[in-house]
């Protein structure tokens, strides 16, 4: 499986500010995804990061709040904009496995908004 890293691993931010989370993969992958895991909850897909085109957002998530970049096949960023305490979550990126059925996840970024 691919090795996935995320930066930062955790951060504490003030409300109203923005944070950009980076996701790096050690091999080229077609599909990259961003998820949110609110405290004590399951994972919710935010968007699919497409290389060379705009990200595809799930219902309830919008580009102005969660802009995503995908400049190449090994890297993506997710920005959490104009943060509020409700944005406190773990944000995870994932990639599709070689089998084409499964996804592999990065270690996550734990964000706390005060």
Residues that bind other proteins (CB under 8 A): 1, 31, 33, 41-43, 45, 48, 92, 94, 96-97, 99-108
- In the complex with other proteins, the residue whose CB is nearer, 3 or 63, is 3
Looking at the Cβ atoms of 14 and 42, the one nearer to other proteins is: 42
Helices (H), the chain: none
Whole-angstrom Cα distance, residue 77 to residue 26?
15
Shortest approach of other proteins to residue 10 CB, angstroms? 10
Q: Which is nearer to other proteins, 1 or 17 (CB)?
A: 1
Q: Can you tell me the distance from the alpha carbon of 52 to that of 35, in angstroms, rounded to the nearest whole number? A: 20
At closest approach, how far in Å is the CB of 16 from other proteins? 28
Cα three-residue angle 13-87-2, rounded to 5 degrees: 90
């Amino acid at each position: 499986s691919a090795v996935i890293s995320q930066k930062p691993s955790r951060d504490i931010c003030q409300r109203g500010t923005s944070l950009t989370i980076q996701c790096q993969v050690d091999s080229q992958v077609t599909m990259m995804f961003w998820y949110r895991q609110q405290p004590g909850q399951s994972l919710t897909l935010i968007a699919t990061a497409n290389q060379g085109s705009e990200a595809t957002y799930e219902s309830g998530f919008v580009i102005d709040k969660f802009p995503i970049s995908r400049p190449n096949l090994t890297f993506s960023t997710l920005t959490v904009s104009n943060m509020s305490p409700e944005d406190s979550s773990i944000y995870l990126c994932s990639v599709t496995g070689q089998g084409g059925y499964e996804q592999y996840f990065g270690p996550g970024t734990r964000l706390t908004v005060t």
